[in-house]
Structure 1
Amino acid sequence: MNPLFKFLLKLTSSPRIDMQEDYLWVRRAQNLFAKGPSRGFRFLDEKIYALDENQEETHEIPVRIFYPKEKLHDEAIIYLHGGGWVIGNIDTYTRACINLADKLGRIVYSIDYRLAPENPYPHGLNDCLRAIEVLLTPIEGEENRKWILMGDSAGANLAAAVSLRLKEENRVLPDKQVLLYPVTYWDHTENSPFKSITDNGYEYGLTIKKIQEYMEMYAPDESIRKERFISPLMAEDLSHQPDTLIITAEYDPLRDEGEAYGEALEKAGNKTRVHRILNSVHGFITYPAFAEPLVEAINVMKEFLDEE
């Protein structure tokens, strides 16, 4: 690994960073550096309306639609951004979604779900579920479109949870799902059964301290963290899930639980592929388009998505 990059990762791994206290300034910093779509890029900002959890008031779920320079496929991608359920939005992920749309030749729909701690579980999940149900519902008189559900980190966790929920409720499922370094388990302390937590959890940017802090904001009630819609690896029935690609990073503390989820999906009879990107860390989907880990990930996605 590049020595300068590794030094920067160590700086961002400082135990002095407390996400429960610092998440607001992290959001502000991300928004400051976020780059919106350029004038030459085709995009639309739309909204989906949903009832609040009390079923009395409605709120908006922003959706940004990215059109590729050259559309090569009719199927579209629904993207759920990462950020520990606490940070990130469609602005901070605009460059990533532009890159995905252009490189994969598909329209990308980016969902701006509600964030914790202001809106803890299940608020963000409910937004994702509502938006995806609307998009996946066939329009009368039009040819049914195939859909790919994609997310990274906490967004991949939400994608996996949505697929589980749709299957349990006998609703329309996406045709495929792509989970980038997903959160799939509830325990990210040194007691975790996954070796990557202790091997990679201290000096590669995303630390186990940060993961635990994110989890505590998303699911303050510790007793519910083992639920399958927070920890998909705890699901008793993983059958009849979409064809799945899981991409992990070698130096990511979440590596092993992501790969374990792939193994569990395959064992349950699902068509599953797991690919580990070597010499990489958590979060590479937001890297510049020329970055090696992202180039490799895009190539793997192309191969998986183009399979019949």
Structure 2
Amino acid sequence: MQEDYVWVRKLQNIFAAKPKNNYRVFDRSIYSEDGSHSIPIRVFHPKERKSDDILLFFHGGGWVLGNNDTYTKDCMKMAESTGRTVLSVDYRKAPEYPFPAGFEDCYRVVDILTNNLELTGLTDAKKLSLIGNSAGGNLVAAVCLRLRDEGKTLPGKQILINPVTYWDHTEQAPFESIYVNGFDYGLTSKKMQEYMEMYEPDEALRKSPYISPLMAADFSDLPDALIITSEFDPLRDEGEAYGVKLKEAGTYTRVFQAQETVHDYLTGPSVNGIVSKTYKLIKEFLDESLKGSEYIGKQNDAP
């Protein structure tokens, strides 16, 4: 990835789905705290809005790949499936902008929106929920930790899909899924380690809880959490371990494992309806009506 990321970006942009219905998709931006750059935000409105709540989305791609264009199709699906407006943040990418650049962009957007509700039309910051996949899930967890640490206004909920929560993905990593799933299922442990090295070149600094949420000293007083992992994902165990930490600290947390899926299943074609089942789960979590087992798919069709 350290050699090929530029070409991968170009390919992603070539095949990216462009917004089709301009009346439902709008581009906006928020200035960085120092005014040095703007942070693009794409707004996706569902055809049928079923809730006034808003989802703020941080996309995946190892902090290196992806943008609002490459995730347009997924954000439209998210808006339609949940009946909620989705705001997608195009944060700065490594290696050109390593940590804390992308993290600061995401933090800035959340801080601005929760303290200036007139920008969203919300009356309560609890009606804003954060959602992210992979590196985006990492950013959701890290932003919530920092907001809590600084005594800032927190969003209502956090949804982490196959999140990165730990700093080491080498053979010394403490999680079995790194070895079991780290070679043959798309995202490899080697790729993950290379992404991490581009995001933060200094290994010692990778142990910051704002890069590795599992390294936090305190997991209490955080937003209600839904964590979704994949059976054949090298990140499976660290995502579930983060859920355990949140539960032990008294944070309301549900952890589901999507059976017979790989890391990027939610952005690919639906297999056995697993994508629609996942979005149903997400919607029920947001609606506070979530029931069912701790699995999605093979072992149990719940929720």
- Please say whether Structure 1 and Structure 2 have the same fold, judged by a TM-score greater than 0.5: yes
Secondary structure of the structure 1 residue equivalent to 2:2: helix
Q: Does 1:194 align with 2:175?
A: yes
How far apart are the structure 1 equivalents of 2:163 and 2:117? 31
2:149 corresponding residue in structure 1:
168
Does 1:98 find its partner at 2:80?
no
What residue is the counterpart of 2:215 in the other structure?
A: 234
Q: Is the Cα–Cα contact under 8 Å of residues 53 and 122 in structure 2 kept in the other structure?
A: no
Distance 1:142 1:40, change over 3 A: closer
Change (3 A) 1:282 1:41: farther
Give the Å deviation of 1:37.
Answer: 1.2
- List, as ranges, runs of 4+ consecutive aligned residues in structure 1 with deviation greater than 3 Å: 138-142, 288-291
CA contact (8 A) 1:179 1:247 kept: yes
Residue equivalent to 1:128: 106
Partner of 2:185: 204
Gap change, CA 1:280 and 1:136, over 3 Å in 2: same
CA 35–198 in structure 1, closer or farther in 2 if over 3 Å, else same: same
Tell me the residue number matched to 1:154.
135
* Percent identity of paired positions between Structure 1 and Structure 2: 54
Q: Does structure 1 residue 144 correspond to structure 2 residue 124?
A: yes
Name stretches of at least 5 consecutive residues in structure 1 with no aligned partner: 1-18
| 2:15 aligned to which of 33, 41, 46 | 33
Three-state SS of the structure 1 residue aligned to 2:207 is: coil
> What is the CA–CA distance in structure 2 between the aligned matches of 1:153 and 1:166, rounded to whole Å?
20
**Deviation by residue 1:72-109 (Cα, 9 ceiling, x = unmatched):** 00010000000000000111000000000001000000
Conserved in 2, the CA contact under 8 Å of 1:96 and 1:287? no
Match of 2:93 among 115, 120, 130: 115
Output the amino acid matched with 2:32: A
Structural RMSD (CA): 1.5
1:44 is aligned to 2:26: yes
Q: Distance in 1 between the 2:234 and 2:273 partners? A: 20
Q: CA deviation at 1:288?
A: 3.9
> Is residue 293 from structure 1 mapped to residue 293 from structure 2 by the alignment?
no
AA aligned to 1:35 is: A
CA displacement at 1:142 relative to structure 2: 6.8
> Residue 277 of structure 1 contacts residue 296 of structure 1 at CA under 8 Å; is this kept in 2?
no
Which of 37, 46, 65 in structure 2 is aligned with 1:59? 37
Identify which range, 32-41 or 223-232, moves more after superposition. Answer: 32-41
The higher-RCO structure (CA 8 Å, 6+ apart) is 1
- What is residue 66 of structure 2 aligned with on the other side? 88
Hey, what's the Cα distance between the residues in 2 that align with 1:238 and 1:179? 15
Pick one of 71, 74, 85 that aligns with 2:49: 71
Residue 275 of structure 1: SS of its match in structure 2? strand
How many residues were matched structurally? 286
Q: Deviations over 1:11-70 (max 9, x none)?
A: xxxxxxxx000000000000000001113661110010014xxx4x52010000000010
Equivalent residue for 1:214, pick from 156, 177, 195:
195
TM-score by length of 1: 0.90
Provide the rounded CA distance (Å) in 2 between the counterparts of 1:28 and 1:243: 37
Of 252-261 and 37-46, the range deviating more from structure 2: 37-46
Instruction: Sort the Cα spacing of 1:99 and 1:273 in 2 relative to 1 into closer, same or farther, 3 A.
Output: same
Q: Note closer, same or farther for the CA distance 1:251–1:126 as it changes in structure 2 (3 Å cut).
A: same
